[in-house]
Amino acid sequence: LLTFLSSPVIVVHCSAWAIPDDMAKASVDGVKSTATAGFLAMKRGGSALDAVELSVRALEDNPTFDADHGAVLNTNGEVELDSIIMDGRTLAAGAVSSVKTISNPVSLARAVMEKTDHIMLTDRGANMFAESVGIPAVPTNTLVTECERTEREKAKNYAVEVKEGHDTVGAVAVDCSGNVACATSTGGIRNKMVGSGGYADNLSWAVSCTCHGESILKVTLARLFHVEQGKRAPEAVEVSLRYMGDRVRGGGAILVSRTGEWAAKFTTERMAWAAVEREVLWYGLNPKEEFKETLRQ
Amino acid sequence: MLPVLVVHGGAGFIPKERVQMSCAGVQAAVRGGYSKLQGQGSAMDAVVEAVTLLENDHHYNAGLGSVLNAKGEVEMDAIVMDGRYLASGAVSAVRKVANPVQLARLVMDKTSHLCLTGEGASQFARSMGVPEVPEESLITEYARMRWKKNLAADANPVECQMGKMGTVGAVAVDAEGNIACATSTGGMLNKMEGRVGDTACIGCGGYADNRVGAVSPTGEGEAIMKVTLARLILFHMEQGRSVEAAADEALAYMKDRVGGLGGVVVVDPQGEWSVRFSSLQMAWAAAQQQTLHYGLYTGEHFTQNIDDPY
């Protein structure tokens, strides 16, 4: 299956939720700079897999987003992170769940994919593996912002889990060889107790999803898109999100196909997203927004 | 043709000396689960009962009799899914509980989450009053012997694996037309600590949807995950394939695309069911309208009246 594209394509997202106005600019700036960096990496010959990993690392390191340095705390006051990365060429995948004290879970997920015979490691075993491949543990308090500590104190007064919260970050890409890849990373929802987030297949698309995790799981959102083969990318995403909305509740997703088609859609109030294709940077925050600028390098 | 219950005890290769007990266990499990359905129990009650019986039977790789991880410990995965509202519960890498399938059901019924893992799953079990059992009580001599053999430098755990002791699972449709699935496993022989396979992952190790059907798979976990096998079979059924054709197509795809073998039990809302596997054997049994169905090798399909003794 050899396709050569004239331009790689990358799409990144963070947070399909009602992003407050005071976070809006930082969110949009974050996804724009990240998409730019991922695109340039592919232009220099990097693979789709490299591009999604480096993009999600950048999003993990950005404290505006939940995924890592802004991660929400679980009921024990710890940071627990989940991440997945998948290579559309071979369907190879790596994932970690409930990993603690790791700065960049997406890179740990990639190590699971490339250095073990397994796809997923969890909890203590995931942390031990990190140590064995020389990925350093970082103290929890470097992963927790002051803002989050305050929010958690407030949320403790409520027995019901808070519905808002920062969310998930992700990236999908197709490189010049026509290989697709996806990566998604999250700290989950606030006060949560001690699959579906992404899928990549060269035969169809690469997808990364966001919003209420449990709802995404119930409809295996990333895998739903498979059904829509033959539809154009934006329609495929809309149909799948509508299905999820009908059966459970709203969310967001980004998608790219091996032929370079892409889409970023959401049925929540907002989702910060950005895409780069042929030196054009696209981005949006509110429904129906699709701004564009020439890529600044 | 409702209600119906189909149960499996793992796909792969079962050594001759273990064949009889593997077959007996799935038949006992299907009888136990089916009696729930006949007593107005739900599909969920039936699959949890069947899988509980298999977890308690040391001949299977689930609960008691689970394979050991690289360190010689037992880490188990399980999932349940309720096709009515797409509700689901799962546990991954959970230790020291006798019945992970029941803990998975508690995750579904008592939390707003779908999956709990490791230490968090144990904490939840304690909070639910689920007793912690000593790890030794889950380990059999057979499991320990297989583990030791695989510590050898030239051992090939993936090849040795294939269902000599199997993941267990069940799918059911009750008299009201509600659909459910359950799957439980000790995972892969000599796996890395913390390794989670398909069983705990919704869409991979199980999926149930009242509108389409339910699937419980077994086989090479990483391959099942790469193709999201359970969900893939149900996609094919949504597109009009029969319960057999959907399963065969998906299993062939899995073999072709990622080189993995496995087996599935499948049911649809009308009570049509199938048992398909690309491995040599899969111990299975089904109950429907007073008939007990069972088999082991490809093509086998024996029947008897369910009230006749074993």
Q: List pLDDT tens digits, range A15-47.
A: 777 788 888 999 999 999 999 999 999 999 999
B52, B167, B185, B228: the active-site residue = B167
Which residues are within 8 A (CB) of B100 and not within 5 positions of it... i.e. 6 or more apart?
Answer: B55, B62, B63, B76, B77, B78, B91, B94, B184
Question: Residues A51-78, buried b or exposed e (16+ Cβ, 10 A)?
Answer: bbbbbbbbbbbbbbbbbbbbbbbbeeeb
Kindly list the residues from chain B whose CB atom is less than 8 angstroms away from the CB atom of residue A251.
none
Beta bridge partners of A16: A271
The DSSP H or E segment spanning B159 is helix B157-161
Q: Give the distance from residue A181's alpha carbon to the nearest chain B alpha carbon, in angstroms.
A: 13
Long-range contacts of B120-129 (CB under 8 A, 24+ apart): B120/A74, B120/A80, B120/A98, B120/A123, B120/A193, B120/A194, B121/B91, B121/B92, B121/B93, B121/B94, B122/B94, B122/B95, B122/B96, B122/B97, B123/A194, B124/A193, B124/A194, B125/B94, B125/B97, B128/B103
Indicate the pLDDT class of residue A173, thresholds 50, 70 and 90. very high
Handedness of CA B245, B251, B254, B259 (dihedral sign): negative
Distances (CA, A) of A59 to A108, A113, A140, A282: 15, 20, 18, 17
Residue-level pLDDT at A258: 87
Beta bridge partners of A270: A17
Whether A125 and B93 lie within 8 Å, measured CB to CB: yes
Burial of B74 (0-12, 13-18, 19+ CB in 10 A): buried
Residue-level pLDDT at B212: 97
A112 in a structural domain: no
Stretch A164-190: mean pLDDT, rounded? 80
A129 in a structural domain: no
Burial of B271 (0-12, 13-18, 19+ CB in 10 A): middle
Q: Which of A101, A117, A118 to mutate to test the interface with B (most CBs of B within 10 A)?
A: A118
Q: Give the distance from residue B302's alpha carbon to the nearest chain A alpha carbon, in angstroms.
A: 36
Residue-level pLDDT at A214: 72
A158 in a structural domain: no
Q: Three-class SS of residue B288?
A: strand
Instruction: Give me the number of domains chain A comprises.
Output: 1
Residue-level pLDDT at A147: 52
- Which tokens sit at B59? 């001949």
A139 in a structural domain: no
Kindly list the residues from chain B whose CB atom is less than 8 angstroms away from the CB atom of residue A98.
117-118, 120
Q: Three-class SS of residue B106?
A: helix
Stretch A115-125: mean pLDDT, rounded? 92
Q: Give the distance from residue B288's alpha carbon to the nearest chain A alpha carbon, in angstroms.
A: 28
Indicate the pLDDT class of residue A220, thresholds 50, 70 and 90. confident
More confident residue, B188 or A147: B188
pLDDT tens for A247-291 read: 877 788 899 988 899 999 998 889 999 999 999 999 999 999 999
For residues B178 and B43, the answer to whether their CB atoms sit within 8 Å is yes
Whether B118 and A98 lie within 8 Å, measured CB to CB: yes
Residue-level pLDDT at A62: 84
Q: Which of A113, A220, A246 to mutate to test the interface with B (most CBs of B within 10 A)?
A: A220
* The model's pTM: 0.89
Please state, in angstroms and rounded to a whole number, the distance separating the CA atoms of residues B172 and B266. 9
Nearest CB to A117 within list B158, B227, B228: B158
A174 in a structural domain: yes
Which residues are within 8 A (CB) of A25 and not within 5 positions of it... i.e. 6 or more apart?
Answer: none
Q: Where are the alpha helices (DSSP H) in chain A?
A: 21-43, 48-61, 105-115, 123-132, 140-143, 146-155, 213-218, 221-224, 233-247
Average pLDDT over all residues of chain A: 82
A257 in a structural domain: yes
Please state, in angstroms and rounded to a whole number, the distance separating the CA atoms of residues B269 and B275. 16
Handedness of CA B296, B302, B304, B310 (dihedral sign): negative
Cis preceding linkage at B3, omega within 30? yes
Nearest CB to B196 within list A93, A121, A129: A121
Q: Which chain A residue shows the shortest CA-CA distance from B85?
A: A247
The domain of A256 spans 9-68+83-89+163-294
Q: Three-class SS of residue B116?
A: strand
Cβ neighbours, 10 Å, residue B298: 14
Please state, in angstroms and rounded to a whole number, the distance separating the CA atoms of residues A19 and A211. 12
Binding residues of B: 195-198, 218-221
CATH number at residue A191: 3.60.20.30
Nearest CB to B192 within list A92, A121, A218: A121
Residue-level pLDDT at A138: 80
Percent over 90 (pLDDT), chain A: 43
Distances (CA, A) of B157 to A32, A196, B80, B188: 45, 28, 27, 8
Nearest CB to A119 within list B75, B113, B225: B225
A220 contact B CB<8A = yes
Binding residues of B for substrate: 195-198, 218-221
Confidence check: pLDDT of A161 > 50: no
ipTM for the predicted complex: 0.88
Locus of tokens 């959970």: B94
Torsion, CA B52, CA B55, CA B60, CA B62, rounded to 10:
120
Reading across the β-sheet that carries A251-257, which strands appear in turn?
Answer: A198-200, A205-211, A251-257, A262-266
pLDDT tens for A46-89 read: 999 999 999 999 998 887 775 555 555 566 667 788 899 999 99
Q: Which of A76, A108, A192, A218 to mutate to test the interface with B (most CBs of B within 10 A)?
A: A218
Beta bridge partners of B76: B94
Locus of tokens 């086998």: B300
- Which tokens sit at A152? 């958690």
- pLDDT less than 70: residues of chain B: 155-165, 310
Please state, in angstroms and rounded to a whole number, the distance separating the CA atoms of residues B115 and A77. 19
Highest mean pLDDT out of A65-79, A133-147, A166-180, B181-195: B181-195
Residue-level pLDDT at A234: 84
More confident residue, B264 or A235: B264
Q: Which residues of A are catalytic?
A: 168
Confidence check: pLDDT of A218 > 80: no
Residue-level pLDDT at A77: 65
A107 in a structural domain: no
A176 in a structural domain: yes
